[in-house]
A = this chain, B = another copy of it.
């Protein structure tokens, strides 16, 4: 037994206890009889049966679809911005990065309420249009676009930072060398820049997808219950309907779906291969 392992053991046990405890509790409770609050009941698959017979799959699909849409939009928005931060803006990059970072210091809910005030009928945007320009427009608040706007807004930094890191890891020399060897701008991008920044892009996509699947505030605050993501179903099960085993079973399914997706993507894009380590 190496000294590293001997010293790491207590910490790892503490971690297993501290970090795995809630996950184990959730998994265990998902096999308890519905609407019970004790963990000593006879294990049963009843909760899972209930879920498969219910319309919960719609919430699942909404969550996954919203997350996927968010990731695609984020990738399209964040790549040019990250590229600019690394390659184009020079000393202005610092200021731009600061502008991205400051809002993170404000509680997410406050920022979402801000969007409500901004988007609502007679709010900052529509109010200005109506009062000063006489234009009457419909508010997008409490519709799907508002939710997507909120998600893109909240998760942009989490896509941007790994992407910026990924792009900044492509050495200037390597790009210069490709140009020097006759490659056009587009060829440099396709042959050198994109493959070498792929690890950062992939990490950004995974991170934002995982965060977006677990999102609940955006749909609640900006979506006005128009769309019910799975996280909302879980919250309802744990609070209003007081059916904890059902909430636990929904949680377990969500973890399984997300986990499977992450493993799938990581296996498809082996990071070591991307980084050229073998």
Contact of A118 with B21 in the complex, beta carbons under 8 Å: yes
Contact of A114 with B21 in the complex, beta carbons under 8 Å: yes
CA distance A128 to B40 in the complex (A): 9
Contact of B91 with A127 in the complex, beta carbons under 8 Å: no
B interface footprint on A206-239 (CB within 8 Å = 1, 0 otherwise):
0000100110100000000000000100110010
| Shortest Cβ distance from A97 into B: residue | B15
| Shortest Cβ distance from A9 into B: residue | B92
User: Which residues of the partner chain B approach A104 to less than 8 Å between Cβ atoms?
Assistant: 210
Q: Is A39 among interface residues, defined by CB-CB distance under 8 A?
A: yes
A70-118 contacts to B, CB under 8 A, are 81, 84, 88-93, 95-96, 99-100, 102-118
User: Which residues of the partner chain B approach A258 to less than 8 Å between Cβ atoms?
Assistant: 105-106
User: Which residues of the partner chain B approach A231 to less than 8 Å between Cβ atoms?
Assistant: 107, 109-110
Segment among A25-33, A43-51, A183-191 that sits at the interface with chain B: A25-33
Contact of A84 with B7 in the complex, beta carbons under 8 Å: yes
Q: Is A153 among interface residues, defined by CB-CB distance under 8 A?
A: yes
Q: Is A254 among interface residues, defined by CB-CB distance under 8 A?
A: yes
In-complex Cβ contact of A92 among B5, B28, B254 (8 A): B5
Q: Is A4 among interface residues, defined by CB-CB distance under 8 A?
A: yes
Contact of B84 with A124 in the complex, beta carbons under 8 Å: no
Contact of A39 with B124 in the complex, beta carbons under 8 Å: yes
User: Which residues of the partner chain B approach A235 to less than 8 Å between Cβ atoms?
Assistant: 109
User: Which residues of the partner chain B approach A22 to less than 8 Å between Cβ atoms?
Assistant: 103, 111-115, 117-118, 153
Contact of A11 with B84 in the complex, beta carbons under 8 Å: yes
Contact of A37 with B122 in the complex, beta carbons under 8 Å: yes
Segment among A174-182, A197-205, A243-251, A267-275 that sits at the interface with chain B: A243-251
CA distance A52 to B114 in the complex (A): 22
Given contacts A23-B103, A24-B124, A255-B106, contact A4 B90 (CB under 8 A): yes
Q: Is A135 among interface residues, defined by CB-CB distance under 8 A?
A: no
CA distance A234 to B221 in the complex (A): 13
Q: List, sorted by A's number, 7 A–B pairs whose CB atoms are closer than 8 Å.
A: A15-B99, A22-B117, A26-B117, A37-B122, A39-B117, A110-B254, A113-B248
Q: Which 6 A-B pairs have the closest CB atoms?
A: A22-B114, A107-B214, A4-B90, A8-B92, A8-B89, A25-B118
